[in-house]
Chain A
Amino acid sequence: MFGFLAAYAGPAGPVSSADVLTALGLMGKGMLGIFIVMALIYLLTYILNRTTGKDGR
């Protein structure tokens, strides 16, 4: 799919389709990773708000 990028010379250096695929993979994994962490913190906050009550104030 990214074969057209093979051996293309960017202004800061050569670019290969493998580099582009790696960067796309990073984007997918990175955003997924962040959302997993944030969703877990969301869940944690929800549970804490439900279980600790208002009496600890």
Chain B
Amino acid sequence: MAICGHRGGITRKGALQLLNGFAFLVGGVAGVTWKMLVMWAVGGLLIWLAVKKDFEPSLLLPMGFGAILVNLPYTGVLGDSGIIQWLFQKGIAASEALPLLLFVGIGAMIDFGPLLSNPRMLLFGGAAQFGIFFTVLLATLLGFPMRDAMPIGVIGAADGPTSILVSQVLDSHYKGAIAVAAYSYMALVPVIQPVAIRAVTTKKERSIRMPYRPDEVSQRTKILFPIFVTIIAGLIAPDSIALVGMLMFGNLIRECGRLEGLSKTAQGPLANLITIFLGITISFQMRADAFVRWDTLLVMALGFVAFVFDTVGGVLFAKLMNVFLPAGKKINPMVGAAGISAFPMSARVIQKMGLQEDNQNHLLMHAIGANVAGQIGSVVAGGIILSLAHGMGL
């Protein structure tokens, strides 16, 4: 009352002057755009998925918070002295350091034993990358230039760091959407894969039993494996060497038997630290002006297609192998679907589906073999995509 009238101490003019003096406080509110509001909602959705649904929380939560952080008006985390921009420029744009170093941790976490004792599972790690190339074709048919179509396809690698790396190297316009799609769909593997598998298999095929009789694997094999895989990948697909090399370096630390401390550090603190910064750094690509476009939805839809056709590719390849395998040696086609990189979610899905069809049908170890093959297959596929892109002058 005192502000509006003359009875108190402050006049209307005085009140306006007072408000003008505090205009800086509302400058940010006035700077909010509808696109920023959309990104706040996207950030909120990612945080909700992480917290409530437990979908890849270690990455979706930092990405969700970062999406809000970089979409505040006049945000101090962007610009030449902004921490998120600095992290992005140094950690991703300059050398892809964050995604590559994360592979050291991932490599240290992987036990290739189930794959080494049953190496034919390696073929599924190749077949289940079909969705990548199918989606590149589909994206091209929709009119995306090859610079964007290729990284969109790599969403199907089910491998977040590889998707980020390929989209950065090819300088795609959809880096943010690709990262979000890669991690979101990876978390949705337990939902996507059963539907896709049931669509291309019969109950009889899903009930095929696969007894697990692993061959013993020597430590020497486990040590030599990462070294030779690095050499093979380097010779055949040189652009995959950064990805494969870091993955195999981490695995060598694990398997050498002399670096237990380093192995534990790589699996735990190193991987966790990088994950924290990778998630929030990727949010640099989630600025409203670059992210809120109708074709972002198209990219997300194509990523879904890539995941579905990866699964279908693995299953159909297993069915093809069964044509040539004698009775009693047949492969349960569902195991082929585990050839994607989403580890260990995919293997768990296959185990669960196998038990649903036949409560004595334990497919877990076969599926884990295919799943770790998928880890190799996805980084090789990323490298091959980069090699092909460079061959096209991109």
Contacts and interface: CB of A to CB of B under 8 A. Distances in A.
Given A12-B143, A31-B129, A38-B377, A48 B225 contact: yes
Contacts, number: 147
Interface residues of B, number: 55
A27 B123 contact: no
A30 B142 contact: no
A5 to B, nearest CB: 8
A16 to B, nearest CB: 10
A22 B392 contact: yes
Interface in A17-32: 19-20, 22-24, 26-27, 29-31
B381 A45 contact: no
B84 interface: no
B218 A10 contact: no
Interface stretch (B33-41, B96-104, B230-238): B230-238
Contacts of B225: 44-45, 48
Interface size band for A: 35 or more
A39 B124 CA distance: 11
A27 B126 contact: no
A13 B377 CA distance: 31
Interface stretch (B130-138, B179-187, B205-213, B278-286): B130-138
A9 B143 CA distance: 7
B141 interface: yes
Q: 4 smallest A-B Cβ distances: which pairs?
A: A10-B143, A56-B220, A13-B143, A56-B218
